[in-house]
Chains A and B, each alone.
Chain A
Amino acid sequence: MSFIADFISKKNETKEKILSIFLTAGFPDKTRFAELAVKVLDAGADMLEIGFPFSDPLADGPTIQHSSQIALENGVNLKKTFAYAAEIRKHTQKPLIMMGYANPVLSYGVKKFADDAKAAGVNGLIIPDIPIEEYDNFFDESFDGLDTILLITPTTTDARIKLIDEKSSGFVYCVSISGTTGSSNKSISSTLDFLKNTYSTVRNNKMLVGFGISNENDVKTFAPHCDGVIVGSAVIKSLMNDDPNYSNTIDLIKKLKSSLI
């Protein structure tokens, strides 16, 4: 069993659901990113997704586009992201996941990327522009030991959910909406129907839900139908105008975590 899957299972055994937080590497402050990440984990995040920036983030809405742009302007690249991960790893035993688009990975060298990620203490990867059709072309044996987390969306057919569930490791990332990150739910009832159906179809993996979860209400609504939730854009938005201690963001994470229990 994978480290991430094992971690989620243990939490779930104590009736706890997972709170996974997305941060863009080097945002908002490239010199204090590891410090921010540790604060976020200490405030109650169970897992961290560290986004490495790409110039053309197709699956992202304006908020994460903005944080990626700032990160690029701050000179954040994969090397820097691995250094952040290694620094954060010194302070936590919780799962660390890297999330970003395929081209920077391809350009870095797929094997070198996998080796450096493992060396930095990263446990898993989410690459939204590698669907199962491209999976075998992209993830070779150098990714053994890293979980490759795949996404399920409202347009995914039941037959595909099963295929994705077979390929995915760590967990499956259920995208609650057809839209980019940070979009809001148009219809809660159809979203819940979709989550319930997916949750019952996924057999091999734990299921975390992300996209469109921004506050305690959303968490309370979705948590019963999954093993944990992922919050990204709401955290990035909070960081945009936070004080130097990231007080509002830390407060948000505490609230999100307490609404899960």
Chain B
Amino acid sequence: MNESVNYKFPDADGRFGKFGGKYVPETLITPLKELEEIYFSLKNDPGFIQELNQLNSEYTGRPTPLTFADSLTKHYGKGKIYLKREDLCHTGAHKINNALGQILLAKKLGKTRIIAETGAGQHGVATATVCAKFGMKCFVYMGEVDIERQSLNVFRMKLLGAEVIPVSSGSKTLKDATNEAIRDWVANVNDTHYIIGSVVGPHPYPMMVRDFQSVIGTEAKYQIHNIEGRDPDYIVACVGGGSNAIGIFYPFINRNVKLIGVEAAGYGIDTDKHCATLTLGREGIFQGMKTYLLQNDEGQVSEVHSISAGLDYPGVGPEHSFLKDEIIADYYSVTDDEAIKATELLSHKEGIIPALESAHAIAYLEYLMPKTTKDEIIIVNVSGRGDKDLNTIKNSLGY
């Protein structure tokens, strides 16, 4: 795996500074240790690396292209915009990178049953996909609200042979699906591996998912050096849990590249309908990790909102909390409306319909581009394609 210079996190206890850790019920400690051990034994194993690389190239279709966005660049008339095309991955988003890595670990651990949580359904689809390929039973927890707004992905999961388990607790979205998946894991640790879909949860997940997703940044670095002969000046990615962002950031940490994470501001950060965790949250302990968290004065987790199911989450990966506090990356937020406008803009200008999650990264260009100069280079991570969101986009645009 591609490791950054002078940046060795998490530490042996799974901490990124004060963030991260293993805040889980005792039942999960031993399976987490087993997972950590098998991961450390395999991550530098040539056979494992070759197997994963081969799957990445022959199954997922990696490397994904780095596309120069000619019209979008002209539209802003400033720096050069490149798009990292995770939307072109098999299954339509970067989530497959992690699902493939983890299914190989599950196989080595001798597990026969896979569970996952999903918000937008992209991680659920990726997990259902790798389970189909590797002959594992697959159960995906999904909030009822998300089942409604991502119905196409629900059908895809079913077609791939997975069982989708509706979650009706709490806000009926990603957070609650994650709670249920963790409860399932507590009850079925012996035969079950939990494929967490983002860089969240207890150690070793944030590290492991980052490592599997860092293929995005490793490729982007190679590609931009081939095209431009140098690092970019800016990298922009959306942040819900933060896996696509950390995946593209990680190989560029401490390289004088401005790393920008874009959160979902929902109806606006002056309302209570948003999920701008790093912008407005404070330190908390949630779903196995210490991290920034949207919560009330009494430490109860807030019900959050985003038009994008994949960003609709009150927590964030602990490494992002660390990168924010250390000022290694900067985090901003854009609203539902801005994301919809950006979806339309990228579709019109580049013929690429982004996922609503990725549209948040595109939308931030409105703020970033005026500050750039013509010789600067910006890479935006298009983490997924928008097919799953067409109903939501259609309703928002009204045509």
Residues of A within 8 A of B (CB): 54-56, 58-59, 61, 65, 72, 77-78, 101-108, 128-131, 133-134, 137, 150-157, 160, 164, 175, 178-180, 183
Contact = CB atoms under 8 A, between A and B. Distances in A.
Most buried by B among A129, A137, A175: A129
B27 A178 contact: yes
B148 interface: no
A103 B25 contact: no
A108 B299 contact: yes
Contacts of A178: 27, 186-190
Contacts of B24: 58, 129, 131
Contact of B30 (A54, A59, A155): A155
A227 to B, nearest CB: 19
A4 B11 CA distance: 37
B159 to A, nearest CB: 30
B30 to A, nearest CB: 4
B182 interface: yes
A180 B23 contact: no
B205 interface: no
Contacts of A164: 26
A104 B28 CA distance: 21
B293 interface: yes
B27 A56 contact: no
Given A106-B285, A153-B26, A179-B187, A78 B21 contact: no
23 contacts: A54-B300, A55-B300, A56-B170, A56-B175, A56-B286, A56-B301, A58-B24, A58-B182, A58-B183, A58-B186, A59-B183, A77-B298, A103-B295, A106-B299, A129-B24, A129-B25, A133-B21, A133-B22, A151-B26, A155-B28, A155-B30, A160-B29, A179-B186
B287 interface: yes
Contact of A103 (B175, B179, B190, B284): B284
8 shortest A-B CB distances, which residue pairs? A107-B299, A104-B299, A179-B187, A153-B27, A155-B30, A102-B285, A55-B300, A59-B25
A150 B25 CA distance: 10
Contacts of A137: 21
B283 interface: yes
B169 interface: yes
B31 interface: yes
Contacts, number: 111
A101 B23 CA distance: 10
B13 interface: yes
A103 B170 contact: no
B45 interface: no
A131 B27 CA distance: 10
Interface in B352-370: none
Nearest to A154: B27
A103 B284 CA distance: 6
B297 interface: yes
Contact of A155 (B179, B189, B284): B189
Given A56-B170, A56-B175, A164-B26, 12 more contacts: A54-B299, A59-B186, A61-B183, A106-B283, A108-B299, A131-B26, A133-B21, A150-B26, A155-B31, A179-B27, A180-B183, A180-B187
Contacts of B287: 56, 58
A207 to B, nearest CB: 14
Contacts of B283: 106
Contacts of A131: 22-26, 29
